[in-house]
Structure 1
Amino acid sequence: MTTHSLRWRIVWPLIFVLTLVTIIVAAGLYFYLMTVMTNSRSADETVLPHIASSIYQDSAGRLLLLPTPELARLQEESPDLWFIARAEGDRKVQYGQVPPGLETIAAQLGNILDGDLRAEGASALTSQIARLPSPAGELRIMFGGRLQADSFAVELLSRMKIIYLPFLAFTLIAAFLSVPILVKRALAGLSRTTEIATSIDIDRRGQRLPPDDVPEEMLPLVTAINAALERLDHGYTQQKRFLADAAHELRTPIAILHTNLEAMPDSRQQRKLLNDVGRLANTAEQLLDLHRMDNNMQSMEELDLVELCKSVAGDLAPNAIAAGYELSFSTNRDRIPVSGDAGALERAISNLVRNAIEHGGGKGLIQVVAVFPNIIEVTDEGPGIPADQREDVFEPFYRTAPKRSGAGLGLNLVKQIVQRHGGEVAIIASDRGARFRISL
């Protein structure tokens, strides 16, 4: 199944729209300038360096004109070229003829910093005033007679690239960097809600997703999920109550049936029936254990694993011997203190020993071992559990063979008890039989 990030599904359209708007604004500005701005041409300012290089001052400080090759080339290319250069002290030098109508402006050249005079078409009145440094000091030059190749609008737009292109690049880079961050912050509440949702499990019922931190568009989904959780909690509670009530109701008729069977004459059929009733009583007790575990595992206290395992082994030794086994208990410490629920851990160890008695083949040795640090092992010498079923046997109602006895609840109960103590239970590979290990 292909999944898509909600954040990037928002980010990419936003970046695309921002980029498109930027390009449209740039294109609109370009066509606006081309429409409203004049297409006249200005004097060609590229001649200024050549003009400045042809002016020098003599020993008396007068400005003189040097016929440089560059100046000769300009004159050949533009016969109407003219200029006036003025320096401090009213010193000046002139080249070519100033067009009529510009003499008054040329006379005030010393008082003008710069200027750009444009006339219609190719009029001789088009000219520029500029300032340039030179060996004779700062020169104020007024020139004309040579026009630029491009119109003023084209020239201005070409110069705008220096400002516009970095601005466009900055805008796009800022969009790529800032939009994901802003969207992530906007969806931060949804991320927190997701974290809470991942923490909800069967052992933490009653928890709901907070509706305050999510975007308004996600609120219906959060509300629907909370409603579904409410229904699941209600159904789970009803199911657990039904199982507990059913188990309680079964205990009395099972006990009466067991008493009546014991009163019957000893026979093979009686022993078989007693064994079947015993399994039925054990199943009812396991159902009650599941109910007790949900309601009674509230307080943890310090207990001794050695004493706990020794007690379980002692209680179940008659059952094991009657079924044809030997039962032993060993430990490497006199005392192994742990924090836990004594009743729940006792039921977990008992279920492992009962499982060994039930499926260990009816002969051999069943060992209960308590090892520091906080490890309990129960082993038998039976047929063992196939490697591909070692995870499945901890699922409720799972049996390694369909015709085997038992309801398949014992090992699931062990797993739940151990997990609620923060530990784990596993089946360890063994050369012979089954080897269960609880690590707390």
Structure 2
Amino acid sequence: MRRSLAGAITRALVAANLIALAGITLGFAISGFADRQNRFEDGIDDVAAVIEDSIRRDDDGHLSFDAESDAWRDIMADHEDLLFLVLDPASGEEIGNDGGILHRAVGDRWLREWRRSIFSLRLPDGTGLNGVVMTIALDDLPLRLAVVHGDSSWHDMRSWVGNEFAREIAPTAIPALLISLVVALFAVRRLMRPVAEVTARLSRLDPTRGDGRLDVGLVPDEIAPLVAAVNDSFDRVAATFEHERRFIADAAHELKTPIAVLRARIDGLADRAVADRLIGDVERLGKIVERLLTSARMEQGKAPLVPVDLCAVARSVVAEYAPLALAKSCEIEWQAGAETLPVLGDAEALAEALRNFVGNALRFSPAGALIEVAGSLDDAGRAVIVEVRDRGPGLPPGRASQIFTPFVSSAPSGSGHAGLGLAIVAAVARRHGGTAEAEDRPGGGAIFRLRLPAALSPATAP
């Protein structure tokens, strides 16, 4: 299964940020747990302040509560187990909701002294309570207040952590997290851009040639060894192909002399009927050798690529084959879809490729057929296309995808054709950064297509 490196890096950054955020929150939780006693006392003080503000004296001087205030209602809603007791030391009057529990727990002494004291008690049902006894004032007269509520350290800590997260962490950490993700995505895309450029260049490289390799300096250090290994592999492939091309060229060159000697000896035979048959075989052998030499020259591609008008090259090839078509009672026609077809190329190599297309079409077309040679630019104007359309038998069944392979002929077996013509076209197309294509033509016949990159500036005729 394919995995995205950019996606993996982004997910790792997201995970790292989330872990950092969780660590900050955990730190606050630990700090909150360590400081729970202080928070408990602060909470008790807040409750005591509300109770103090709610105490009143009526006209008779008795204590009472203003239980209708919003602060009172909020305190009672937040602390359902809240118990409190207010004692007037001067009169001995008590008010509260403790039912006598707090007086029994803290004793008369602590209720009548001025000091502040923290205490714990446990109800008969086993409920643990924490509280404080303190002095408050009403009309400048001291009162003693005892307040308790349940041991809610964990609840208080969770509430505190939640409040701190909402007030302190989230407003800064979450925007920082989002900003870091945006920056990370931008950085990952920027880092991956050289990889994409190298990949695009790799798709255009021909490993059989040694004139183009990937630039190791464009990619990050972590990917550079992979790019270097690809270059080394291409070098080995190019060296192997160069050795094979040189061998084929040398072998074909060496065969020319024995073929010439063999032809001379055949010409000297007295039996002319046998001599004529042998001469036909020798001529076919000579053509194969010439095609091998041409194929080797095309693969080596020593000539520089210069501005060429493929339209002019195609017209020249059509004019060259017009007498041959006429001799076979066929017609050949040039159809120009543009005034010029500019490419950077080797004019002679391009002419040889088109000769193979046109010669192949003429060989398989029946008498009276029309061979169309058409040139045009693609819709985007980035590619030059030359098509040769015939009305022959079409592509060979089962071998259509192999006809540009050397020694795979589109002609019937025993016809004398070695299958090198279309291989030469494919070699020319590769050298020019293009492709050679073939397909069956609707209504019968075949279409052979040469597609090359268009030149950026207008080409001149060869």
**TM bracket, shorter-chain basis:** 0.5 to 0.7
- CA distance in 1 between counterparts of 2:188 and 2:159 reads 37
Alignment match, 2:3: 4
| 3-state DSSP of counterpart to 1:295 | coil
Distance 1:181 1:342, change over 3 A: closer
Cα deviation for residue 231 of structure 1 reads 1.7
Matched, 1:346 2:354: no
One-letter identity of the residue aligned with 1:295 = K
Question: SS state of the match for residue 411, structure 1?
Answer: helix
Query: Which of 404, 420, 425 lines up with 1:394 in the alignment?
Result: 404
2:256 alignment partner AA: R
Aligned match of 1:38: 37
Q: 1:233 to 1:4 in 2, by over 3 A?
A: same
Does residue 377 (structure 1) correspond to residue 394 (structure 2)? The answer is no
1:413 aligns with 2:414: no
Tell whether the 8 Å contact from 1:41 to 1:118 is kept in structure 2 after alignment: no
Match of 1:160 in 2: 161
1:64-99 deviation line (CA, Å, top 9, x unaligned) = 98754559998x97452379xxxxxxxxxxx99996
Displacement of 1:410: 0.7
Distance 1:236 1:437, change over 3 A: closer
Q: Secondary structure, in 3 states, of the residue corresponding to 1:119?
A: strand
With 421-430 and 283-292 compared, the bigger mean Cα shift is at 421-430
Cα separation, partners in 2 of 1:248 and 1:51, compared to 1, 3 Å: same
Q: Does 1:429 align with 2:438?
A: no
Partner of 1:194: 199
Per-residue Cα deviation, 1:385-434 (whole angstroms, up to 9, x for no partner): 24654333123332345555322221122244356285754334154444
Q: Deviations over 1:357-402 (max 9, x none)?
A: 6555xx6246443446475535254x33246543331233323455
CA pair 77-234 structure 1, distance change in 2 beyond 3 A = closer
Select the residue among 299, 306, 310 that pairs with 1:299.
306
Q: What is the correspondence of 1:26-175 to structure 2 with a 5 Å cutoff?
A: 26-27=25-26, 29-31=28-30, 33-35=32-34, 37-38=36-37, 41-42=40-41, 43=44, 45-46=46-47, 52=53, 67-70=65-68, 78=83, 80-81=85-86, 102=114, 119-121=118-120, 124-126=132-134, 144-150=145-151, 155-164=156-165, 167=169, 170=174
Asked if the contact 1:348/1:414 (under 8 Å) is kept, the reply is: yes
Equivalents in 1 of 2:315, 2:199: separation in Å?
Answer: 44
Of 399-408 and 284-293, deviating more is 399-408
User: Residue 127 of structure 2 aligns with which residue?
Assistant: none
1:313 counterpart residue number: 321
Contact 1:247 / 1:287 at 8 angstroms: preserved in 2?
A: yes
The residue type equivalent to 1:34 in the other structure is F
Deviation string for 1:151-172 (max 9, x for gaps)?
5675354222123267377276
Please, what TM-score do these two structures have when normalized by structure 2?
A: 0.65
SS at match of 1:248: helix
Percent of aligned pairs with the same amino acid: 23
Cα distance, 1:201 vs structure 2: 1.9
Q: What letter is aligned with 2:401?
A: E
1:215 positional shift:
3.9
2:266 corresponding residue in structure 1: 261
| Aligned partners of 1:326 and 1:364 also within 8 Å | yes
> Residue 212 of structure 1 aligns with which residue?
217
Out of 232, 236, 248, the residue aligned to residue 253 of structure 2 is: 248
Q: 1:106 matched to which residue of 2? A: none
**Structure 1 counterpart of 2:354, one-letter code:** I
Letter in 2 for 1:145: A
**CA distance 1:48–1:176, shift in 2 (3 Å):** same
In the aligned structure 2, how far is the partner of 1:142 from the partner of 1:216? 77
CA contact (8 A) 1:313 1:327 kept: no
User: For 1:145 and 1:273, how far apart are their aligned partners in 2?
Assistant: 129
Contact 2:209 2:238 in 1 (8 A): no
- Work out the number of aligned pairs and report it: 392
Look up the match of 1:355: 360
Q: Give 1:354 deviation, angstroms.
A: 3.4
- CA RMSD, aligned part only? 4.8
Whether contact under 8 Å (1:7, 1:184) holds in the other structure is yes
Q: 1: distance between equivalents of 2:449 and 2:421?
A: 15
The corresponding residue for 2:455 is none
| Alignment counterpart, residue 282 of structure 2, candidates 257, 277, 280 | 277
Secondary structure at 2:372 match in 1: strand
The match for 1:234 is: 239
SS in 1 for 2:388: strand
> How far has the Cα of 1:337 moved from its partner?
4.5
Contact 1:384 1:434 (C-alpha < 8 Å) held by counterparts: yes
Whether the 8 Å CA contact 1:55–1:65 is kept in 2: the answer is yes
CA distance in 2, matches of 1:174, 1:183: 14
Structure 2 counterpart of 1:110: none
Asked whether the equivalents of residues 244 and 287 of structure 1 are also in contact (C-alpha less than 8 Å), the reply is: yes
Distance 1:181 1:332, change over 3 A: closer
CA distance in 1, matches of 2:243, 2:350: 26
Structure 2: distance between partners of 1:232 and 1:200: 12
Aligned amino acid, residue 299 of structure 1: V
User: Tell me, which stretches of 5 or more residues in structure 1 are unaligned?
Assistant: 59-63, 84-94, 104-116, 130-140
Alpha-carbon separation, structure 2, partners of 1:6 and 1:207 = 27
